[in-house]
Amino acid sequence: MTKKIPLHVKILLGMILGLSWGIAAVNLGSAWVGFSKDYIHPFGTIFMNLLKLIAIPMILTSLVTGIASLNDIGKLGRIGGKTIGIFIGTTVIAITIGLVLVNIVQPGKQISEETRDMLMQGNQEQMMAKTLAAESVKNRPALQPLVDLFPSNVINAAGDNGNMLQIVIFAVFLGIAITLIPNEKAEPLVKLMDSANEVVMKVVDLIMIIAPLGVFALLSAVIVDLAKDDPSQILGLLSALGVYSLTVLAALFLHLSLTYLGLVRFVARMNIWDFLKKMRPVQLLAFSTSSSNATLPVNMENCEDELGVDEEITGFVLPLGATINMDGTSCYQAIAAVFIAQVFNMDLTLLEQLTIIFTALLSSVGSAGVPGAGVVMLVIVLNSVNVPVEGIALILGVDRILDMCRTAVNVTGDAAVCCSVARMEGKLKSDIV
């Protein structure tokens, strides 16, 4: 009998081949880079598009089915309260871990003035673009994020510039309304949604068939992008920003192993090795795509099928998590802000560091689950403590690599919280048997 190759092995293989192809193309010259851009990278875009395509139908069908099966609406409020409470608690811990590490290691003090000028010069254009993007967010009225939660048009909400939370709100309304109408009227729609949910899950399986090709294309694009016209740049950047990058990685690792695995072990009461083993494909995909949104459908399917969480919990907790729970991002923002301050020889007071906790919490909530969103919102954190925003030019060179790592942490956090809420609500498969 032939043994099926596990998904995470296939993704890993795609990643390794993609990295090798990218490095080879960069070294072989512009013809190869051009070939990769024209004929390989589009497959990465197709893969990302397909994942995003299925995310909205998946949220709608699983949330509507899930809420419709609740016979007590008050329960929804309770689940929401617990979920948001744990999200905020873990994010504050993540930022604190980041702040403690960056103050102990002081990576900014290791950067000489020449290195600082070299790093700043390289990324002026990108820095301007990010600051501009942050400007539009900063100038919004205070209650705009709340207003943005409520869509005026469901098609637009599901469109490219839509907001996933708007779909969550719409699905919650539909689900609640279904429970409020007579059973015989509601039943056909519930059945339809239920079977649509099965179909959507199958579509995710179909999309995952091309996952190895997708991550191959995505990772070769990352390398080509990083190297741009000068391949030796990567090593130079990594050595200049090595201590900073290692500080971010160490903080992410600490948060993952202490906070998330603590939740998994003591709240979800699951075996941590089993959890980590089952999360491998999701983490690898998050790493390759740098997008919590693109990883969402796979995270939802994995939490239901592998970790045994009921769909009413995954349908609620995971889309919310992909949008507002970004511990990896907030931890990185705290470190980056203090790092930039250190490079500019600014000593941040305790009050300023507390301000960072608050603004990094808010800006990780406001960051979209797409590549590079964290660095845009970092501008807001920097502004809050009067650190020059031009400083983001310093860290842009390694941002993509750190983005890949923080996204993997973000999706792991969503799944850990999902399992914990499910256990509290008696909605893990092991509770039911």
Residues that bind ligand ASP (CB under 6 A): 290-292, 326, 329, 367, 369-374, 403, 406-407, 410
36/299 with CB nearer ligand ASP: 299
223/326 with CB nearer ligand ASP: 326
CB of 280: closest distance to ligand ASP in angstroms? 18
CB of 391: closest distance to ligand ASP in angstroms? 17
DSSP state of 264: I
CA dihedral for 316, 318, 322, 324, sign (positive or negative) = positive
193/248 with CB nearer ligand ASP: 248
Classified as helix, coil or strand, 309 is: strand
- Residue of minimal Cβ distance to ligand ASP: 374
CB of 372: closest distance to ligand ASP in angstroms? 5
Q: Which amino acid is at 422?
A: A
8/406 with CB nearer ligand ASP: 406
CA distances from 344 to 90, 324, 389 (A): 30, 31, 11
For residues 283 and 15, give the distance between their C-alpha atoms in angstroms, rounded to a whole number. 12
β-sheet bridge partners, residue 428: 309
DSSP state of 347: P
CA distances from 193 to 76, 158, 163, 188, 377 (A): 19, 17, 22, 9, 37
Q: Which residue has the tokens 């197709």?
A: 46
For residues 427 and 423, give the distance between their C-alpha atoms in angstroms, rounded to a whole number. 6
76/373 with CB nearer ligand ASP: 373
CB of 331: closest distance to ligand ASP in angstroms? 10
CB of 256: closest distance to ligand ASP in angstroms? 14
CB of 345: closest distance to ligand ASP in angstroms? 27
CA distances from 309 to 41, 157, 207, 428 (A): 35, 27, 22, 5
CB of 176: closest distance to ligand ASP in angstroms? 29
- Helices 399-424 & 272-289, crossing angle to 10 degrees? 140
What tokens does 213 get? 């090709």
For residues 104 and 82, give the distance between their C-alpha atoms in angstroms, rounded to a whole number. 33
65/329 with CB nearer ligand ASP: 329
CA dihedral for 395, 397, 398, 404, sign (positive or negative) = positive
CB of 402: closest distance to ligand ASP in angstroms? 8
111/370 with CB nearer ligand ASP: 370
For residues 259 and 261, give the distance between their C-alpha atoms in angstroms, rounded to a whole number. 6
CB of 373: closest distance to ligand ASP in angstroms? 4
8 A C-beta contact, residue 407 and residue 287? yes
369/391 with CB nearer ligand ASP: 369
DSSP state of 268: S
8 A C-beta contact, residue 73 and residue 316? no
For residues 402 and 2, give the distance between their C-alpha atoms in angstroms, rounded to a whole number. 38
What tokens does 198 get? 């099965």
371/391 with CB nearer ligand ASP: 371
CB of 328: closest distance to ligand ASP in angstroms? 6
217/376 with CB nearer ligand ASP: 376
